[in-house]
Amino acid sequence: MVDVFGDGAVNRGPFLEGLNWAVVFDLPILFICEDNRYSSTTRTEDMTGGEGAAACAVSLGLRTTEVDGNDVEALANVSAAIIARLQAGGGPEFLHTLTVLAWASP
């Protein structure tokens, strides 16, 4: 199972609840955060406390990988490795893809 969301979702209750239950029940799910550093039209750093999405995942014990979301080859390789671990019975993992908007600078 895969759950894809943007960084704007990390300051919402369902985000943390989803990560928590995935860890508690050791679910084979890949959480993918597409982090363009914007929550709709507002900088994420102005809307979300703490160190961000990956830090939340780490704090709950999820194996967390960061990758350049603009590097398609790196993203494909990392995703394939994570999916192989999940298919082999691994628990939940978190993939933090860092990208940028075409109209905004990070």
Range of the domain at 22: 2-98
Cβ contacts of 75-79, under 8 Å, gap ≥ 24: 79/30
Structural domain includes residue 24: yes
Structural domain includes residue 37: yes
Q: What is the CATH number of the domain that holds 88?
A: 3.40.50.970
Structural domain includes residue 106: no
Please report, to the nearest 10 degrees, the dihedral formed by the alpha carbons of residues 85, 73, 40, 63 taken in order.
20
Structural domain includes residue 61: yes
Q: What is the pLDDT of residues 3-55, one digit of tens each?
A: 998 888 888 888 899 999 999 999 999 999 998 876 666 676 666 666 778 88
Structural domain includes residue 46: yes
Q: What is the pLDDT of residues 60-105, one digit of tens each?
A: 999 999 999 999 999 999 999 999 999 999 999 999 999 876 555 5
Structural domain includes residue 103: no
Burial of 54 (0-12, 13-18, 19+ CB in 10 A): buried
Structural domain includes residue 7: yes
Structural domain includes residue 92: yes
Give pLDDT, residue 105.
53
How many domains does the structure of the chain reveal? 1
Structure tokens belonging to residue 25: 């029940």
